Structure 1
Amino acid sequence: MTKKAIILAAGRGSRMREMTNDRPKGLVELASKPLVAWQIDALRSAGIDDIVIVTGYRGEQFAPYADRTIPNDDWANTNMVSSLICAAAEIDGPVIISYSDIVYAPSIVKKLMAAPGDTALAYDKDWLTQWNRRFEDPLSDAETFRISNDNILTEIGGKTNSLAEIEGQYMGLLRFSSQTIDAILSVTTEEERPKMDMTSLLMRLINAGHTIHGAAISGGWCEVDSTSDLRVAHEIVDEGQLTLEA
């Protein structure tokens, strides 16, 4: 049973501008609560009792929020995959992996926990509703996402100019096992991991024959990658579309 979560929170979040001058991105506040506190409340409500945060920029500020912290000392020169590898020893069973700039309902965590297989991710079938609020042209940010009828991921992270190639939105919430980490280490090299992003890693796993299951959701979350995203997130919370109700 999944009882542990790892939040990847090493980055500064430069697109948040002056809001991250004195704090990491995960501690920017949404409705008077830091983003990471939203995540922790959702994870605890879903039954997670052990939360680890991988830190970097101003990482000491996360200490009050985590059961343990693990530093990514080279956070300024590496991507999300390196932060994940920093915490590889913590993935000794099924573990929830969360980005630090997303907010989600406990029900999404529970659905991801219930997905089959060693590796799974949550994805939003109704992604375009939120992307239309975030971007004048949703395709300027969206990437390919294809999934089979039995919820097996077949493609992710490619550039596209067609909505037909986007069957959902990867939201930065995954479930990995120790077998997933073994697979990651076998299909990537130590030299390429520092510059590899998560969707490239997932596509590498797919191409190597590793099965990634999808947990489909419809709304109930948001991503805060910029100051304009934060405004949209406040609107979503105010409208009651995002709560921490289980």
Structure 2
Amino acid sequence: MIAIILAAGRGAGLKELTQDRPPSLIELGGKTLLRWQCEALLAARARRICVVRGYRSQQLTPEAAGLPANTFETVENPAWMHGSMLSGLRCVASWIDKALAEDEDGIIVSHGETLYPADHVLALANAVEPVAITYDTRWQTLWMQRYGDPIMNAETFVHEDGRLLEVGFRPEDPDDIQGQYMGLIRFSPRGWELAKKAINRLGDACDHTDMTTFLQGLVEDDVLVQAVPVVGHWVEVTSRNDYYVYKQALEHKGWSHDWRVTSPTL
């Protein structure tokens, strides 16, 4: 298995926390975000990791993240200022093609601001459909902590028997929120070919296409996207408020979304 971390953005919502560093080098729970991600991916048996860089890219090295040298490779996203996660995935497409020629177990794609344990990665790695994503069934708890209202900033997430039907819209009915997308995707080699065709079709429109819109497009193209449930134990660090909410929550033992849990089988 190979892994991609999309870490090119400035993280404007993090304000002064990223004034002098890329978001992935923020420390939370004693480690940088990037170190948490790489350690989870390696524990889940990722053989190669590529980090897509942009804002203050030269700072984003394994050593700066608190990792051994050569832990990950890098690809630059020159469109990071006005691009999206999807534009980052587009930039790394050639790297993925070459890596898949040597490793046919598929690809894990991670948003750069998402933290998770190896368990969640392994759940994705065991998915059987061409494209798979994790979703949190306990998302309301996290949204209450972040926003005070579980519906605020939530997006639709509808599946049937594990097949994704809808994601990324503004919900009009609470029943349209069966979970929340977490920023983790797995593509099998066949799934990557389908995704790459969709990316090529979008072209420069990738710069203003978010990942849930892209996933919804795959669903509408009849690509089977598997929805893999998990229960808590992840966060996304997209704002200054997120950072301080999580920092405080980590002081309480048994927090439902503490990502630092590890599988006893690893």
Give the TM-score of the pair, scaled to structure 1. Answer: 0.93
Give the corresponding residue for 1:245: 262
Is the aligned partner of 1:201 residue 2:218?
A: no
**Runs of at least 4 residues of structure 1 off by over 4 A?**
none
Could you tell me whether the CA contact under 8 Å between 2:157 and 2:167 is conserved in 1?
yes
**AA in 2 matched with 1:44:** L
SS of residue matched to 2:123: helix
- 1:73 is paired with a residue of what secondary structure? coil
Q: Which residue of 2 aligns with 1:82?
A: 87
| Match runs of 1:172-211 below 5 Å | 172-187=183-198, 188-211=201-224
Structure-2 change in CA distance of 1:113 and 1:200 (3 Å)? same
Q: Which residue of 2 aligns with 1:5?
A: 3
SS at match of 2:202: coil
CA-to-aligned-CA distance 1:123-166 (integer Å, 9 cap, x gap): 101110111111122322001000112x0100000011432110
Partner residue of 1:109 out of 117, 121, 129: 121
Q: What is the correspondence of 1:136-175 to structure 2 with a 5 Å cutoff? A: 136-149=148-161, 151-175=162-186
Matches for 1:54-65 after TM superposition, within 5 Å: 54-64=52-62
SS in 2 for 1:18: helix
* Unmatched tracts of structure 2, length 5 or more: none
| Contact kept in structure 2, 1:112 and 1:175, CA below 8 Å | yes
Which residue, out of 77, 82, 88, partners 1:72? 77
Instruction: Kindly report the root-mean-square deviation, in angstroms, between the aligned alpha carbons of the 2 structures.
Output: 1.5
1:123, 1:168 within 8 Å by CA — same for their partners in 2?
A: yes
Amino acid corresponding to residue 40 of structure 2 in structure 1: A
Deviations, residues 204-233 of structure 1 (Å, cap 9, x unaligned)? 110011010011100011111111111222
Letter in 2 for 1:140: M
State, as a whole percentage, how many aligned pairs show the same letter. 35
C-alpha distance in structure 2 between counterparts of 1:154 and 1:97, whole Å: 20
Aligned length: 243
Aligned to 2:50: 52
Cα distance between partner residues in 2 of 1:24 and 1:78: 15
Letter in 1 for 2:214: L
- Give the aligned residue type for 1:196: T
Residue 135 (1) aligns with residue 151 (2): no
**Alpha-carbon separation, structure 2, partners of 1:172 and 1:140:** 18
**Is 39-48 or 120-129 further displaced after alignment?**
39-48
Matched, 1:226 2:239: yes
SS of equivalent residue, structure 1 residue 171? strand
**1:159-193 deviations in whole A, cap 9, x for unaligned?**
11432110011000111134333323433321321
What is the TM-score of this pair, normalised by structure 2?
Answer: 0.87
